[in-house]
A and B are shown apart, each in its own frame.
Chain A
Amino acid sequence: MKCEQAQKLIDASVDGELTTPFRGPFESHLKACATCQTELARASRADAISRQLADVSAPDLRARTFDALANLEPSRIGPLKEIMKTTLGIRLGLTTALAAGALAIAFVPRMASANSGRELWAKMAKSAASIHAVHITNVWKSDGKKGQTEIWTDGHSIRMDEADGAIRFSKDGKFYETRRNPDGGQGEAVASAASIDPAIFTLPVQMKMLSAGASEPLDFGTTRLNGVSYRKVGIVGRSENERYTFWIDPNTNLPAKKVDETLRNGQWVEIGYQTFEFLEGLDPALFNVKATLVSDKPSGSGLKVSGGG
């Protein structure tokens, strides 16, 4: 073992984290190398000093914490994941007909003031921007086919599973794209995962994309389902023939659902929807999917992906 490699292991040694394969060669090198011995001694001293940082007393924040909890009204809203299960009745794998039926009951547009729409949108964008961990299920219909993409991000990593079409993700500040695994069938999703720069990816994908088109959000009133009243705000999409309506939870101001519609023969027709679950405690195992970059090109590059997470 050379000094360069040994010095990279010095801190792991001090922290008691040196793994077996490296321990023997590291210790052998150390015996024969005065430079690394000196560095190890300095690392040990610095470690002892650093661990003194544990000496801190904390104020009693219990009252403030319970105030914050009271504002959340947990007994009423609960985790959004549970709301999605019990209230909207939309889960992965449910039929399009069931989803469409729920929408038909709930979706009664009532135009209110544009000003109110802007306020709703601003609240939603602010709330969404404050939360990094999100799970988005994106369901769309095209030419009689139904596709589905799922996205998880925790602010550090993003994972996308999809059943059709292309997927994009960012890594090291650049965006990469991959195509559907030709061997994967419907429901046999391609999985990819990558580390991301939080500075670039602070908003959920769809929120970031749509924020540019939110010039005049409209208030579509309220839909009440199972005791929860969802405010609805609609925005024009990438063209005037597309519009998106977000269902906003009144307690959290977070979007629970977004409905995509297109104008056909003068009628707004649903072409897809997204559900949002904002969760702080995403399982790290979600991102344990190996993706091998096979091209250095920042866009249009292919990826070989293995594992399903």
Chain B
Amino acid sequence: MQHNDRDLIERFRKGESAAFDELYERMHLRIYRFGLRLSACREDAEDITVQTFSEAYRARGSFQGKSSLETWLYRIAVHQAHRIGRKKRNERRLDDTVVDEGGQTGFRRIELEQLIASLPDRQRVAFLLVKSEGLSYREAGEVMGRPMGTVQSDVHEASKRLRSAMFSESSVPDTKENYGYEV
């Protein structure tokens, strides 16, 4: 969503339902996915998605176009995830239905989901924005309201922790069978 979306932004700010529908169509999967990874819970991910889009519509007049609609929506999603997550802070556990999502047999996916869920909040947000959502460090910084250097540091710390756990001896051994090639 860049300069060629100015028309959409303008129509969205005016409250045109068609513009909102278009925005929803473009972004709902990404927001849901992000909410799912943040919360590790399908029900929370649905709440995050619904609340993100309804809040975006409510606050559409405050969107000044200095950032992209995309990063603005992620920013709202982070707020909503915090809001919803606060209620369940002591109940955080991985929703079993999440790890089987999509039927992927990707390498150690279950372990990876668990590891991500165990990251500190800020590192988890930075990591998911970059690795899962494909945002640049600058864009992730816009979402989080933090400098690029902080995002870089958070992604590095999160990645280091995940690498350490993924490739540690206590985990599944690094073998050709696991990776598909020699390690």
Q: A: which residues have CB within 8 A of B?
A: 8, 10-12, 14-15, 17, 42-43, 45-47, 49-59, 61-62, 64-65, 68-69, 72, 74-75, 77-79, 81-82, 130-133, 154-157, 195, 198, 202, 277, 279-285, 287
Contact = CB atoms under 8 A, between A and B. Distances in A.
Given A81-B61, A280-B79, A15 B155 contact: yes
Nearest to A50: B131
A300 B13 CA distance: 44
A156 B132 CA distance: 22
Contacts of B79: 131-133, 154-155, 280
19 contacts: A15-B137, A42-B167, A46-B166, A49-B108, A52-B106, A53-B37, A53-B116, A55-B106, A57-B29, A65-B50, A74-B58, A79-B59, A79-B62, A133-B79, A154-B79, A155-B82, A280-B56, A281-B56, A283-B67
Contacts of A132: 79, 82-83
Nearest to B42: A59
Nearest to A45: B179
Nearest to A17: B137
A154 B166 CA distance: 34
Contacts of B54: 65, 68-69, 72
Contact of A12 (B86, B107, B156, B179): B156
Contacts of A14: 159
Among B49, B86, B160, max chain A CB count under 10 A is at B160
B88 to A, nearest CB: 14
B58 A79 contact: yes
Contacts, number: 171
A195 B146 contact: yes
A154 B76 contact: no
Given A54-B132, A56-B36, A281-B63, A65 B53 contact: yes
Interface of B: 15, 24, 28-29, 32-33, 36-37, 46, 49-51, 53-64, 66-67, 72, 75-76, 79, 82-83, 86, 101-102, 104, 106-109, 112, 116, 127-128, 130-134, 136-137, 141-142, 144-146, 152-153, 155-156, 159-160, 162-163, 166-167, 179
A157 B75 CA distance: 13
A282 B67 CA distance: 10
Given A51-B132, A283-B66, A57 B50 contact: no
A53 B131 contact: yes
Among A42, A195, A281, the most chain B Cβ lie within 10 Å of the Cβ of A281
A56 B32 contact: yes
Nearest to B156: A11
Given A49-B106, A54-B33, A17 B15 contact: no
Given A15-B137, A64-B50, A195-B146, A130 B83 contact: yes
Contacts of A43: 159, 163
A56 B102 contact: yes
Contact of B104 (A55, A58, A68, A78): A55
A47 B59 contact: no
Given A55-B106, A56-B33, 11 more contacts: A52-B109, A54-B133, A58-B32, A61-B50, A68-B50, A154-B75, A156-B145, A279-B62, A280-B55, A282-B62, A283-B67
Contacts of A49: 106-109, 112, 166
A52 B76 contact: no
Contacts of B131: 47, 50-51, 53
Nearest to B25: A62
A57 B163 contact: no
A15 B137 CA distance: 9
Contacts of A42: 163, 167
Contacts of B108: 49
A279 B60 CA distance: 9
A68 to B, nearest CB: 4
Given A11-B156, A81-B61, A283-B66, A58 B28 contact: yes
Contacts of A79: 58-62
Contacts of A65: 24, 49-50, 53-54
A82 B15 CA distance: 13
Nearest to B63: A281
A287 B132 CA distance: 26
B53 A46 contact: no
Contacts of A46: 159, 162-163, 166-167
